[in-house]
């Protein structure tokens, strides 16, 4: 892609983003591309419907789970310094770490935290603590309330809990609060000059807030909760910044660990290790996992990616090493992921010439549905799967552990925790697509909408995977 082509990208982005904002798909959206020394950033719409503040090129937003790659980068810096061992048990560095299952934490290695293969069953665990001991409070709570989904290294399941434990591990090893360490060892050397970790800091500049559809009117309304609790900082609860900041971070990984300023943030060896496959479930809906990065195969091209949900918003960071390209975006409603997927796929196909293979060819009528029927559970979540009219039907129930958990999750979900039953059609044994979607939707980032079932024994699947997260048959 040359400068002329990048100008074409900018024109296309402006048209697509403006159309999405003006149609009501999303209130505001900002996206940027860096390629071969050239960079564009495009913004349109409204950052906050309550105030009418515009979405600008330098408007800040919550990184959400994109933070997990920043947290991994912090851990790798300490690995390089010999203060953390990737293959050391977490308890060797963090003796306080324990789970509700006796001795289960002792088997978890630092590597398992970063590769989402730790098995910690805490994806919806939201302790509400603030200040210097917030992450300590999170880890302390795991011992009494959270068990395991599988043996460490045995499977892959997207793990908020693993990243938060990694954040607490960093605090103990360095003696610094996570927010201070992030500012010192990532924000500053990378040149993320507009990034912060609190609402108090974000309010001093232009910052977007999330939005949800109002259940009564259907119209979008601003979120009632800006950030998740401070206990979720390393998993994506609190870091805030701009598209330019994320592009700078992506460029650092594109350049083998050297920031745009010329400062070395990571060794080339650490950057390469983060890109290596740590676990592959060999299922289209679950891309291979590196350390921190999800390794999306788009044909023969690998896209290092992480998306980040925040209350009423979603961010996305993609690094494409083969094409010297970084893409970052944020939209302030959960449905913005659809626009991000369209822009990414168009960027790959039209401007990089990447051929996207067809992942889902059509519905299979000959698949036996009975092995997948049953009840699946993970932390505070229940999925009941049945057969209705020749399709799988899933009913999701949130089962809060206490009033505080219910309050936080309800706000994070936009005021409601119930959803209508969802039907799925079989694509092949063990793999299902949500009914009513065109099959080509799943060729891009939205392959995460597919649902898979795993480890069928005696005619019954033991695990269900949706969005990279496992639930276990009960």
Q: Which domains does the chain have, with CATH numbers?
A: 1-357 (3.40.710.10), 370-473 (2.40.128)
Residues near 241 by beta carbon (within 8 Å), at least 6 away in sequence: 60, 61, 63, 187, 192, 194, 195, 196
Q: What is the rounded distance in angstroms from the CA atom of residue 247 to the CA atom of residue 309?
A: 18
Q: What is the pLDDT of residues 210-268, one digit of tens each?
A: 999 988 888 999 999 999 999 999 999 999 999 999 999 999 999 999 999 999 999 99
Average pLDDT for 345-357? 93
φ, ψ at 326 (rounded to 5°): -130, 135
> Concatenated DSSP letters for 93-138?
H-TT---SSTTTGGG-BHHHHHTT-S-B--TT------STTHHHHH
Would you say 3 and 38 are in contact if contact means Cβ atoms under 8 Å apart?
A: yes
Measure Cα distances from 358 to 4, 294, 430, 441 in Å. Answer: 30, 20, 18, 10
The confidence score (pLDDT) of residue 82 equals 97
Residues near 395 by beta carbon (within 8 Å), at least 6 away in sequence: 383, 384, 386, 421
Q: Is the pLDDT of residue 30 over 90?
A: yes
Average pLDDT for 435-443? 93
In the numeric block, the tokens 């479930």 are attached to 281
Average pLDDT for 330-353? 96
The confidence score (pLDDT) of residue 385 equals 98
Return the structure tokens found at 122.
Answer: 């805490």
Question: Using 50, 70 and 90 to split pLDDT, how confident is the model at 4?
Answer: low
Q: How many other C-beta atoms are found inside a 10 Å radius of the C-beta of residue 370?
A: 10
Q: What is the rounded distance in angstroms from the CA atom of residue 440 to the CA atom of residue 362?
A: 10
Q: Is the pLDDT of residue 113 over 60?
A: yes
Q: What is the rounded distance in angstroms from the CA atom of residue 163 to the CA atom of residue 4?
A: 41
Q: From edge to edge, which strands make up the β-sheet containing 294-298? A: 53-54, 38-48, 28-35, 325-331, 313-320, 301-310, 294-298
Q: What is the pLDDT of residues 62-80, one digit of tens each?
A: 999 999 999 999 999 999 9
Q: What is the pLDDT of residues 382-407, one digit of tens each?
A: 999 999 999 999 999 999 999 999 99
> Concatenated DSSP letters for 136-202?
HHHHHHHHHH--BSS-TTT-----HHHHHHHHHHHHHHHSS-HHHHHIIIIIHHHT-TT-BSSHHHH
Length of the chain: 474
Q: Is the pLDDT of residue 85 over 80?
A: yes
Q: Is the pLDDT of residue 122 over 50?
A: yes
Among 179, 166, 71, residue whose Cα is nearest residue 113: 166
Would you say 463 and 375 are in contact if contact means Cβ atoms under 8 Å apart?
A: no
Question: Using 50, 70 and 90 to split pLDDT, how confident is the model at 2?
Answer: very low
Average pLDDT for 18-36? 97
Active-site annotation holder among 23, 65, 206, 452: 65
Q: What is the rounded distance in angstroms from the CA atom of residue 388 to the CA atom of residue 241?
A: 45
Residue 173 CB-density burial (10 A; 0-12 exposed, 13-18 middle, 19+ buried): middle
Which helix (H) or strand (E) segment is 328 a member of? Answer: strand 325-331
Q: What is the pLDDT of residues 409-424, one digit of tens each?
A: 999 999 877 789 999 9
- Averaged pLDDT score across all residues of the chain: 96
With the C-alpha atoms ordered 417, 423, 427, 428, is the resulting torsion angle positive or negative?
Answer: positive
Q: How many other C-beta atoms are found inside a 10 Å radius of the C-beta of residue 247?
A: 24
Q: What is the rounded distance in angstroms from the CA atom of residue 195 to the CA atom of residue 188?
A: 9
The confidence score (pLDDT) of residue 5 equals 86
Return the structure tokens found at 434.
Answer: 């949500």
Q: Is the pLDDT of residue 140 over 60?
A: yes
Average pLDDT for 331-335? 96
Residue 439 CB-density burial (10 A; 0-12 exposed, 13-18 middle, 19+ buried): middle
Average pLDDT for 170-174? 98
- For this structure, is 261 an active site residue? no
């Amino acid at each position: 892609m040359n400068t002329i082509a990048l100008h074409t990208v900018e024109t296309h982005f402006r048209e697509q983003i403006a159309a999405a904002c003006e149609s009501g798909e999303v209130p505001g959206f900002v996206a940027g591309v860096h390629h071969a020394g050239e960079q564009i950033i495009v913004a349109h719409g409204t950052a906050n419907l309550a105030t009418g503040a515009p979405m600008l090129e330098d408007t800040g937003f919550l990184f959400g789970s994109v933070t997990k790659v920043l947290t991994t980068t912090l851990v790798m810096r300490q690995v390089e310094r010999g203060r953390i061992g990737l293959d050391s048990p977490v308890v060797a560095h963090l003796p306080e770490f324990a789970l509700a299952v006796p001795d289960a934490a002792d088997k978890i290695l630092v590597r398992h935290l970063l590769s989402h293969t730790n098995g910690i069953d805490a994806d919806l665990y939201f302790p509400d603590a603030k200040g210097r001991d917030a992450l300590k409070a999170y880890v302390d709570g795991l011992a009494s309330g959270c068990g395991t989904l599988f043996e460490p290294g045995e499977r892959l399941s997207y793990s908020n809990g693993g990243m938060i434990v990694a954040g607490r591990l960093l605090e103990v090893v360095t003696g610094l609060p996570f927010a201070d360490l992030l500012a010192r060892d990532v924000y500053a050397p990378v040149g993320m000059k507009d990034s912060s970790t609190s609402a108090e800091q974000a309010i001093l500049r232009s910052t977007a807030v999330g939005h949800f559809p109002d259940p009564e009117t259907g119209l979008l309304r601003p979120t009632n909760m800006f950030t998740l609790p401070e206990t979720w900082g390393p998993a994506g609860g609190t870091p805030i910044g701009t598209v330019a900041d994320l592009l700078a971070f992506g460029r650092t990984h594109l350049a083998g660990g050297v920031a745009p300023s010329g400062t070395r943030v990571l060794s080339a060896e650490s950057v390469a290790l983060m890109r290596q496959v740590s676990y592959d479930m060999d299922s289209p809906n679950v891309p291979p996992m590196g350390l921190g990065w999800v390794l999306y195969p788009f044909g023969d091209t690998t896209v290092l990616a992480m998306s980040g949900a925040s209350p009423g918003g979603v961010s996305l960071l993609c690094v494409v090493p083969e094409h010297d390209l970084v893409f970052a975006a944020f939209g302030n409603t959960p449905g913005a992921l659809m626009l991000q997927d369209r822009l990414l796929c168009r960027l790959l196909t039209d401007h990089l010439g990447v051929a996207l293979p067809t992942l889902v060819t059509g519905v299979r009528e000959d698949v036996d549905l009975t092995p997948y029927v049953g009840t699946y559970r993970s932390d505070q979540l229940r999925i009941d799967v049945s057969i209705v009219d020749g399709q799988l039907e899933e009913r999701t129930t949130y089962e809060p552990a206490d009033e505080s958990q219910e309050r936080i999750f309800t706000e994070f979900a936009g005021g409601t925790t119930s959803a209508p039953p969802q039907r799925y059609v079989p694509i092949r044994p063990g793999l299902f697509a949500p009914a009513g979607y065109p099959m080509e939707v799943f060729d891009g980032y939205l392959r995460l909408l597919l649902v898979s079932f795993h480890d069928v024994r005696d005619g019954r699947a033991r695990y269900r995977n949706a969005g990279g997260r496992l639930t276990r048959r009960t």
